[in-house]
Amino acid sequence: MYTFGRKWRKLAPYGFLLPALLIYLLFAFGPSMFTIVYSFTDISGVSGVGWHWIGLDNYQELFHSARTPVYVASAKRTVVFSLSVTLLQTAIGLLLAIVINSKLRGHLFYRSLVFMPVVLGVTVFGLIWTLMFNPMDGPMQKLWGLFGSSSTFLGSYTMAFPIVIFVQIWGAMGYTTVIFLAGLQTIPGELYEAGYMDGARSWSSFIHITWPMLAPTVTVNVLLAIIGSLQTFDIVFVLTGGHFNTSILGYEVYRSAFGGNAGNLRQGFASSVAVLQFGIVLVAAVIAQFYLRRREVQI
C-alpha cells in the first residue's frame, strides 16, 4: 500500500524511477538492441563514411566464407574458456569456501586474500601475471626450470591460452568463494550435528548435507560464471592482445570494431559477432538454468 498521499502525489515514485530508467535505456538497453540492427549493415565506425543495409552478408561471412574457420575457432575457444572457467572456478571456489568456513586460524585473512584480485581489477592483476610469466627468468620460468622445462608462456601458441584461463580463474575466484561462504553460512549447524549422530563423517556429510543445501548457491555461481566468462575479454586484451591463439568472441568484437586503424574498422560485422556471442550466452544460460533448477527441485 502506498501511503504517501493520493492523486499526483502517487506519481513521486515514478519520478524517482525515471533517471535510472533513462540512463539504462539510453546507454545500456537501447545500444544492446541496436547491436542487432547494426549487424545487418556495413557501418564502419569511421566518421563521415556512409553505410548501407546489407541484409545477412555479415552472417554469411561469419558462417559461410573463407574466413569462417577463424570465427569457428574463436567460438570454440570461447566455449572452452567458459567451460573451464566455470567448472574449475566453481569446484575450487567451493573447496576454498568449505575450508575457510571451518574456522581455521586466520580464516578472515584467507577470505580477504582470495578476494583481493577482485578489488585490484583485471588490468592490474593481469599485468602482475605478465610479470610472473616473464619468459626472461621470471618466477614461473624458474618454476618450469625445476622440472627441466622452459616456455615462452604468453608468447607461446600452446601455453598462452591455458595461462589466460588460469589468470581469469585466479582473479575471479574470490567472488565465487565469497558467494559460497554466504551460502554455507545459511546451513544450520544442527544439521551437521544430527548427521554426525547418524554416523555421517566428512565425505558423507558433504554429499548428504552440504551439497544439497547449497544447491541454490551453486546455481547462482554457475550462472554468473557462465554468463560472465562468455562475455568477458578484458583478460585477453591485457595478457595477449588476442595473439597466440587466445582470441575469444568478445575480443573479436572489440578488434573488428575498434582494434585496427581507421581503414579496417568494421562495426557492422563486429555487431554480427556480438549477436553470435549473445546466441551462445543465451543457449548456455538456458541449458544451465534447466539442469540446475531441476537439480534443486529433485533435492
Partner 1 sequence: MKAHLVPRPLGYLIMLLMVAMYLYPLLYLFNVSLKPDTEFALDPVGWVRHIQFANYAAAWQQGSFGTYIWNSLLYTAAAVAGSVLISAMAAFPVSRGYVRWSGLVYIFFMMGIFLPNNMIPQWNLIHALGLYNTRTGFILVNMGVGLGFMLMTGYMKSIPRELDEAASMDGCTYSRFVLTLMLPLIKPVLATSAILQAIGVWNNIIGANIYFSDQRLFPVVMGLYKFYGQFGNQWTLLAAALVIVASPLIVLYLFLQRYIIEGAMTGAVKS
Q: Which of helix, strand or coil describes residue 41?
A: strand
Least distance CB 53 / partner 1 (angstroms): 16
- Nearest-10 crossing angle of helices 30-38, 267-298: 120
d(CA 182, CA 94): 11
Residue closer to partner 1 (CB basis): 38 or 161: 38
Q: Which of residues 3, 149, 261, 298 is near partner 1 by CB under 8 A?
A: 3
Least distance CB 131 / partner 1 (angstroms): 6
Residues 6+ apart with CB under 8 A from 19: none
Decide if residue 292 touches partner 1 (CB under 8 A): no
What percent of the residues of the chain are helix, what percent strand, and what percent coil, each to the nearest 5?
75, 0, 25
Residue closer to partner 1 (CB basis): 66 or 275: 275
Counted residue by residue, the chain has a size of 299
Using an 8 Å Cβ cutoff, are 227 and 285 in contact? yes
Using an 8 Å Cβ cutoff, are 265 and 44 in contact? yes
Decide if residue 119 touches partner 1 (CB under 8 A): yes
Q: Which of residues 136, 146, 149, 297 is near partner 1 by CB under 8 A?
A: 136
Residues 139-198 contacting partner 1, CB under 8 A: 139, 142, 170, 175, 178-179, 181-183, 185-186, 189, 192-193, 195-196
String marking each residue 230-259 x if it binds partner 1 according to CB under 8 A: -x-xx--xx--x--------x--xx--xx-
CB atoms within 10 A of CB 125: 20
Residues 69-98 contacting partner 1, CB under 8 A: 95-96, 98
Residue closer to partner 1 (CB basis): 135 or 245: 135
Decide if residue 38 touches partner 1 (CB under 8 A): yes
